């Protein structure tokens, strides 16, 4: 088996990634498969932190558009990410791994609080750490939370798992001439407004020089292949 080139990664999964073919909630088959892929890379020696979004349940901006107070909507969105993290914790443990959910907002009966040094200790003990409740603040997204946690835990790579094969010059489902970028600089992404992650997340990655790879999570085994150094998807860095 090719050697693993990363020691510690932060994987960002959108809430929508958990829905599979449905338009709401969590598909047990999809979360089970993602859990097994995470365990495989963990068993290969990679320490894994995960940030999960909440868009499959609630998004603050969507709730605000239908009249709700935005901060309340964002609180609901953050709680949605906690539910997704608990579902992933359960899926990982049922598949034979160990996992800990750490929340940026305090809900101690349900999961641990996010404490950076404790999170690092869990990673060192081979537990998958699920970072829930985003940054803990309204008006942010889980993309920003992923960049923040990746920097805090000293990850060597931030991965964003999506439904497309990387970053394209145009929407590949609409434009047959759309081409995939193999690499991009942080400034390319910001200046050309490429829809990779929100700008605050990209700026955090740039300022702290953390490489970001965007890849298609529906292709089984790609997470492991990336750990082995294969150039899959699009790498943002430099």
Q: Which residues bind ligand UDP (CB under 6 A)?
A: 14-16, 53-55, 59-61, 73-74, 77-78, 80-81, 134-135, 137-138, 140-143, 145
Q: How far is residue 198 CA from its own chain's centroid?
A: 13
Q: Please report how close the Cβ of residue 204 comes to ligand UDP at its closest, in angstroms.
A: 12
Instruction: Considering the complex, state which of residue 2 and residue 62 has its C-beta at the smaller distance from ligand UDP.
Output: 62
**Contact yes or no for 159/213 (Cβ under 8 A):** yes
Q: Please report how close the Cβ of residue 96 comes to ligand UDP at its closest, in angstroms.
A: 26
114 is in an annotated binding site: no
8 is in an annotated binding site: no
- 112 three-class SS: strand
Q: Please report how close the Cβ of residue 208 comes to ligand UDP at its closest, in angstroms.
A: 18
Contacts of 155 (CB under 8 A, 6+ apart): 8, 9, 10, 49, 149, 210
Of all residues in the shown chain, the one whose CB is closest to ligand UDP is 53
Q: Please report how close the Cβ of residue 5 comes to ligand UDP at its closest, in angstroms.
A: 26
163 is in an annotated binding site: no
From edge to edge, which strands make up the β-sheet containing 183-184? Answer: 112-113, 99-103, 128-132, 47-52, 8-13, 157-162, 212-216, 234-236, 183-184
Beta bridge partners of 52: 13
Q: Determine if residue 233 is left, alpha or beta; phi over 0 gives left, psi from -120 to 50 gives alpha, anything else beta.
A: left
141 is in an annotated binding site: yes
What residues form the annotated binding site? 12-15, 54-55, 59, 74, 135-142, 162, 168, 171
- Which residues are part of a known binding site for UMP? 54, 74, 135-142
Binding residues for ATP: 12-15, 55, 59, 162, 168, 171
């Amino acid at each position: 088996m090719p050697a693993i080139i990363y020691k510690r990664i932060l994987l960002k999964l959108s809430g929508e990634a958990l829905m599979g073919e449905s338009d709401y909630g969590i598909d047990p088959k999809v979360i089970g498969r993602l859990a097994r892929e995470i365990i495989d890379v963990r068993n290969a020696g990679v320490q894994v932190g995960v940030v999960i979004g909440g868009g499959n349940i609630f998004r603050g901006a969507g709730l605000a558009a239908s009249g709700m107070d935005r901060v309340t909507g964002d609180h609901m969105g953050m709680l949605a990410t906690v539910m997704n993290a608990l579902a992933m914790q359960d899926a990982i443990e049922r598949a034979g791994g160990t996992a800990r959910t750490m929340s940026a907002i305090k809900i101690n009966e349900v999961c641990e609080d996010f404490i950076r040094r404790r999170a690092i200790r869990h990673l060192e003990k081979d537990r998958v750490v699920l970072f829930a409740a985003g940054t803990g603040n309204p008006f942010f997204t889980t993309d920003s939370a992923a960049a923040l946690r990746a920097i805090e835990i000293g990850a060597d790579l931030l991965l964003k798992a999506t439904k497309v094969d990387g970053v394209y010059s145009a929407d590949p489902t609409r434009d047959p001439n759309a081409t995939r970028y193999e690499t991009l600089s942080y400034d390319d992404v910001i200046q050309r407004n490429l829809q990779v992650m929100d700008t605050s997340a990209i700026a955090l990655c740039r300022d702290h020089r953390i490489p970001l790879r965007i890849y298609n999570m529906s292709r089984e085994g790609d997470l492991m292949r990336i750990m082995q150094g294969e150039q899959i998807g699009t790498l943002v860095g430099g």
